[in-house]
Every structure is written in structure tokens, then in C-alpha cells.
Homo-oligomer: A and B are copies of this chain.
Amino acid sequence: MTNQSIPYPRVRITSKFWNRYRAMAVDNALPYQWRALNDEVPVDVPEGAAWGENGSMFSHSLRNLRIAAGREEGKFSGQPFQDTDVSKWLEAASYALRCEDEGMDVDELATQVDYVVSLFEEAQDEDGYLDTKFELDMPVEQRFQGLRFSHELYTMGHFIEAAVAHYEVTGSRKALDVAERAADCIDRHFGDEPGKVHGPDGHPEVELALARLYEATGERRWLELAAWFIRIRGVDPEFFDEQDKAGGPRFYPGLDMPRRYFVADGPVLDLEKADGHAVRLIYMATAIAKVGHLLADDGMRQTAERLWNNIVGHRMYITGAVGSCQVGEAFSYDDDLPNDLVYGETCASVGMLFYGRALMQAHPRGAVADVMELQLFNGMLAGVQLDGTRYFYVNPLDADPVGSAGNPVRRHVLTRRAGWFDCACCPANLIRLITSLDQYLYTVDGDTVYAHQFIANRAEFDDGVVIEQTQGGEEYPWCGDIRFVVDNPNRVPKRLAVRIPAWSERWSLEVNGSAVHLDSVDGFICVDVSGKATEIRLKLDMSVRRMRASLDVKADVGKLAVARGPIVFCMEEVDNEGPLWLDGMRVDSPIDERYDADLLEGVEVLTVEGLRLECERAGQYVVADRALAERPHRLTMIPYYSWCNRAEGQMQVWMRESH
């Protein structure tokens, strides 16, 4: 068996912006999450939540593992998928071990990682089964018999992903062996043969995990099993009902979700639209893209493209948020993008990065990398407080503490990030993306290296080529002067494809001091870097853009948003007079920009000569005999990702357009 990983350089991130986030992850977030998993941080249980009442008010997730490992006495507590909080932490921490190259101290983390791997190894049943909820709480014959909500494959999938990360970073097979035993257990229980379970987990995840396991081990059985789970999904829409009827275990008794929620209301490969639970759909689509590429399966590749295009074209907010609907944490319908009711789960934005990376492997395009950049600098990043210790699950584009407190339909929109959650999927998901960010910068396709993110780094390839990306001024995302230096001592044939973001209306590219006048193809300019040394300078257009949504998006009609480079901006009440909905700007109002190194860890701040509606209150409804007066009013905007790091208050991304 050989490692089937797609070729990828050794990357050291040197970006000031992202080094700070990675240091935040290593120094604050992972230690903080370790405390949470060790029951030192109370969870944020919604009023009346069944789990909070019946079980622990803490994570209990590491305790579950210790109990299953026989190291401690006690009972299982938490969500059926509680193990995944540890698995995702393990994956994030494994990747973080690489941050030693960026000068961080990871010794304690390494000890914790070893400890967790041992716990999983000891908790694993001898037949390879690995899910403490079932091992501690449920009879053996119930295993895989209630997949609607049991999350068993979801849980094992997350461990498999963590084990692959651990193996890739440390070279140790210890976790990987546990993962392969788990995969083998799954393979023995699922399949077309009589007596085997013939349906998927309610929550996709194992499909992409098995594809990752195939990449790490070269064992084709895992890839085929992943493909099998994809191909059967939704083919028998009654699968979960049949398991119920056969007496399978049930979870969440009050929760009666439609089949669409599980992305299982019809054959998943036939899906025309991105419907259902957003994270489920995105994980599924990621697996379809990945497995479709690995198998060169056109049907899968087309489904993956179709769903991506539907999301990006009709179901994604300007910040990258996806999932318009709290009920079912779900997509709703095309162009339904209410800014104050949005779900926009942090995990969904993280998932869009998995999905985008998988699509790039199959077919590198600037448009996909643009969306990945949007998620990185906006949708995903808003999910974490600047210090790494508080998190959003839901990411609104229009927030109002009064509205969240006063109307249950907006209650899911927190206006302070929370320390932890009863369903704590987002914190470690976000951190595993940040600690593995080095894996999202390149796509290698034959002799072409696609450099699709403007994140300063040094990348070393097996053939001796070194690509160094540096940035001018305050660096990206604040400054758009990008410099690539390619060192190719062996003069191997090589092309560097540099992304031209769609948002950069003008740009210039110089190769070794000479301007290059080429149109980008699929969003990239390809430069031959087969020479011994090549210097490429790219200047991007960092002027402020006023953005408008398609008129199909009812929620944004008559509104403008502001972006600069990859950053979407917002207004916060702490900088502006409330209520913010009175503020407008003209499409051509001049906007001032300045970099403030002391604000919010360093951000570009925009100010605009806006216009504020004025009207004395003469009653709730009055006769309108003239247009309302507006007075000039200076408005301040900060990057969306940095909102909610100061005083609690209103926030809005879309602003009224004045005329």
C-alpha cells in the first residue's frame, strides 16, 4: 500500500495575519478547548434543553473516553456524537504540531495528543467499533440499527480524519491503525450482501473520512466503501423508517425531521439543489467531489459541481455564510437570504473550505478559490473571538441584542460569542481549519502549481522547487502587493498559476521585472517558472467596492454592502449611533480608509459620509407627504470577521442605499 495523497509541498506560513491566528489557536484556543473537554468550561445549554437537564452541564467528552478506556468509572453523558469534540480537537492539535516551524511551543500539546490517541486506542472495542455512546450506553445488537440520529459513522469518521492528520503530521501509525480497525468494522457491517446494513448514517462524514483514509494508506477498500455510501444515499428513502420499525434505537424523540434534512430524500447523486441541513449537505458534497475525483467518476463530479454552483450562485450570503434557516440548520430556497434570520453555521463555512479544496483538486479554478478566500477571511473567521476562546455557532449579517432577546425567531442569533455549546461542533472545526491552513494554499496538477491564496508562505517541493510568497505594506488582506520568488535549482519544468481574484477589477503582473499582459484563464495566470529563479509581482486592486445583491435576493433590495480586497465590512453600534437601520449611503459617497494597528489586532477601518434618516415620531403610522429628510452622518465600518469583540450592540453588513 502506498500513500495516495495528492502531491503537496511542505508549507510554512509566514503571513502576519495568519501567524497571529495560528498562534491564537496553539496558545489560546486549543488549551481552552482542552479545558472545555475536561469539564472545566460550562456548556451553553439553551433553556429547556433535554441534555442539560438530564446529564452533565459540562462537555464530559474526555470522561466518556476515559470510562470506555477503563481508566475511570462512570456513565456516558452528552450528545450521541460527543466523541467527535475530542476527535476534532485531536485533528486540530495534530495539525498544530506543525506550527513548531512557525516558532510556537507545542510540547504540551504533543503530550495531550499522545494521551488522546491512547484513550481512543483503549476505548476501541476489539472488533474495531469505536463510539463511546454505544459502547457505554447501548446493547451491542443496537449498533448501526438506528442510523437516523445515532451518528455512529459520523463519530467514527471524525476519528478517522483525526487519525489521518495525526499520521500525516507525526508519521506514527498508532492512531491510523485504530482508524483502519474502525474502517474495517464498518466495512464488515455495511454493504450489499444479505445481513449487512444497507444504508448510510444520518449525518454524512464517514464518506470523506474514508476517502482521506484511502489517501493516507492507499487501501482501495476504503475508497470503495466511501463510494458505496455515496451511491446508496437516499436510494431507499425509507431506510431510516425501516430501521425504526425494526426496533432500532431512537434518539432525540421530539425531533421529527423530514428526509430532506438528512440529505436522504432521494438518490444524492441526482440532487439538483443544495437542500437540507447545510453541514450535512456540504460534507456530503465534499465527499462526492473528492471520491468523484479519485475515481474519475463523471456523475459524481457533475453532482459536486452542480451543488456548488447552486450554493454559490443562490444560497450563500455575501460573507460566505450558508444556511438561511434555523429550523433544521438548513438551506431554504434559492435567493432566500434573510440577514437577521440566517443560520450561517460556522461549521458550514468551514465545510465550504473542505468542499472548495476538493473541487480544486479535480479542476482548479479561480472562482472556487475566490469562495475559499471569502470563507477564510469572513464567514469562517467570524466564528471565533479574536483571542480564540469564544465562538459563534450562528453568524448573522444583521444582529440586534434587542431582537435576539425579544423575538424567538431570532433567538438563535447570539450577539455575544459563547464559551461552549451543548452541541460543540463549531469550535474545534474552526480551529482544525486554522491549524491546517497550510494545506489550503496550493493545488498541484502535473507540473502546474496553483497558488490560490494570498497567504504569505514558503513552500518546498520534493523536486527542489521552493516558492516563497511575501507581501508588501501591512500585508494581505490589507495590502495587495504580492511577490512570489520561485527558486528552481534543478530547473525542473514547472508553471506557477497565480490567481487573479474576480474582485480585483484591475491588476498588474510582472515577471522578472517585465509586465505581463495576459488574460487570466479560469481565474489564473500561468507563469513558466522552469528557470533557476523567477520573481513574480502581482498588484491587486484594493480599492473599496460597494456591492449589490441580485434583485432576486429580496432581503437585500435597496441595500449596499462594502468590501475591500477579500474583506467584507460591517457597521457596529459601538462605532456608530443606533439604530443602524437609519443609516444609508449613496452608491458614490466617498469612503476613507486607514489601517489601525491598535484596533482589533490590526484592521482596516473605513469611514463614509453617510446619510441618516430623520423624522420626529408623530405616531406609529403617519401620512407621508414628502420624502424623509436625511442628515449627513459619518459612518464607521470594520471588517466583518472582527465584529463582536467590543461592546455588545447592533451590527449590520447591508446598509440602506440613499439617493
Stretch in A210-218, A383-391, A545-553 with 4+ CB within 8 Å of B: A545-553
**Nearest-CB residue, chain B, relative to A398:** B554
Main secondary structure of the interface of A (DSSP, over half): loop
Chain B residue contacts of A169, Cβ below 8 A: none
B547 pairs with A623, CB closer than 8 A: yes
A374 to chain B, nearest CB (A): 10
Is A617 engaged at the interface, CB distance under 8 Å to the other chain? Answer: yes
Among A316, A324, A409, A561: residue with most chain B CB under 10 A: A409
**Nearest-CB residue, chain B, relative to A548:** B624
B332 pairs with A407, CB closer than 8 A: yes
A407 pairs with B546, CB closer than 8 A: no
Is A425 engaged at the interface, CB distance under 8 Å to the other chain? Answer: no
The answer, among B48, B318, B406, for a CB contact under 8 Å with A332, is B406
Known interface pairs A409-B327, A587-B625, A626-B587; A313-B659 also in contact (CB < 8 Å): no
Interface size class of A (residues with CB under 8 A): 35 or more
Is A341 engaged at the interface, CB distance under 8 Å to the other chain? Answer: yes
Please provide the chain A residues from 307 to 347 with a CB less than 8 Å away from any CB of chain B in the complex.
312-314, 316, 318, 324-328, 332-333, 335-336, 338, 341
Chain B residue contacts of A557, Cβ below 8 A: 581-582, 613, 656
Is A597 engaged at the interface, CB distance under 8 Å to the other chain? Answer: no
A341 pairs with B409, CB closer than 8 A: yes
Is A615 engaged at the interface, CB distance under 8 Å to the other chain? Answer: yes
B627 pairs with A659, CB closer than 8 A: yes
A623 pairs with B341, CB closer than 8 A: no
B627 pairs with A587, CB closer than 8 A: yes
A408 pairs with B628, CB closer than 8 A: no
The answer, among B48, B551, B623, B625, for a CB contact under 8 Å with A613, is B551
Q: Mark A627-659, 1 if CB is under 8 A from B, else 0.
A: 110000000000000000000000000001101
Among A335, A338, A406, A621: residue with most chain B CB under 10 A: A621
Is A193 engaged at the interface, CB distance under 8 Å to the other chain? Answer: no
The answer, among B407, B546, B656, for a CB contact under 8 Å with A324, is B407
Please provide the chain A residues from 597 to 623 with a CB less than 8 Å away from any CB of chain B in the complex.
613, 615, 617, 619-623
Distance in angstroms between the alpha carbons of A256 and B360 in the assembled complex:
48
A552 pairs with B617, CB closer than 8 A: yes
A507 to chain B, nearest CB (A): 15
Is A402 engaged at the interface, CB distance under 8 Å to the other chain? Answer: yes
Among A505, A561, A588, A620: residue with most chain B CB under 10 A: A620
**Nearest-CB residue, chain B, relative to A407:** B332
A559 to chain B, nearest CB (A): 9
Is A579 engaged at the interface, CB distance under 8 Å to the other chain? Answer: yes
Known interface pairs A409-B327, A581-B557; A621-B318 also in contact (CB < 8 Å): yes
Q: Mark A252-283, 1 if CB is under 8 A from B, else 0.
A: 00101000000000000000000000000000
Is A70 engaged at the interface, CB distance under 8 Å to the other chain? Answer: no
B402 pairs with A333, CB closer than 8 A: yes
B619 pairs with A408, CB closer than 8 A: no
The answer, among B313, B505, B545, B551, for a CB contact under 8 Å with A582, is B551
A336 pairs with B620, CB closer than 8 A: no
A540 to chain B, nearest CB (A): 15
Distance in angstroms between the alpha carbons of A548 and B613 in the assembled complex:
13
Besides the known contacts A548-B623, A550-B615, 12 further A-B residue pairs in the complex with CB atoms under 8 A apart: A316-B620, A327-B408, A333-B402, A333-B406, A336-B407, A545-B623, A546-B623, A546-B625, A548-B628, A552-B579, A558-B656, A586-B627
Interface residues of A (CB under 8 A from B): 48, 254, 256, 312-314, 316, 318, 324-328, 332-333, 335-336, 338, 341, 402-403, 405-409, 505, 545-554, 557-558, 560-561, 579, 581-582, 586-588, 613, 615, 617, 619-628, 656-657, 659
- Pick 7 A–B contacts, CB within 8 A, sort by A: A325-B409, A327-B409, A328-B408, A336-B403, A546-B623, A547-B623, A550-B622
